[in-house]
Structure 1
Amino acid sequence: MATGWAGDGAVQDQIDATVKDGIERARRALPKGPSLTRCEECEKPIPLARQKAVPGVRLCVACQEAADAEGQGAATYNRRGSKDSQLR
């Protein structure tokens, strides 16, 4: 099928690149180094099980949930307005 100037797999290549970028961004956001024994925000102790499960953990569960909820407000990609979603 002719798609103009774009190659046959151009749309899939764009989707793959977007997914790859998202994975790399998530990997960079993962904590690194030794886990803390106390939360950076509230100073409550971080359970040993959490320290082992999440290497480099800096926040307790409650503070991490608050930080995650705060970060969800600003999305990097507007999926509803992207050309990919308009092709359907």
Structure 2
Amino acid sequence: METIAPEAEILAAATNPPEDTRAYFRGKLIHHIPHLIDAANWEAVTVFGHTIPMPEVTTHTKQQTDPLLDLLPDNIPAFIATLNNNGMVN
């Protein structure tokens, strides 16, 4: 089998999701508040009973979600309120 990326890059990718995809937000949620994650899959994350749909790969990027992630893990109520206020949950 041919390796197309250096091993260090592969190892880094295992713990650092791409910043320009929904994987960034999902990965950061799992890192910051694993105890509040009810479910996670490719297209949604359920946090404390609130499902955050992420149907498009190019949404929920670092640029779009870092202000929201800055609330974690210390201010869960503000995080949930911001999700609700911005229509980000079902």
- Calculate the TM-score normalised by the size of structure 2: 0.28
Higher RCO (C-alpha under 8 Å, 6+ residues apart): 2
Q: Which has the higher helix share?
A: 1
Question: Which structure's CA Rg is the greater one?
Answer: 1
Q: Which has the higher strand share?
A: 2
- Calculate the TM-score normalised by the size of structure 1: 0.28
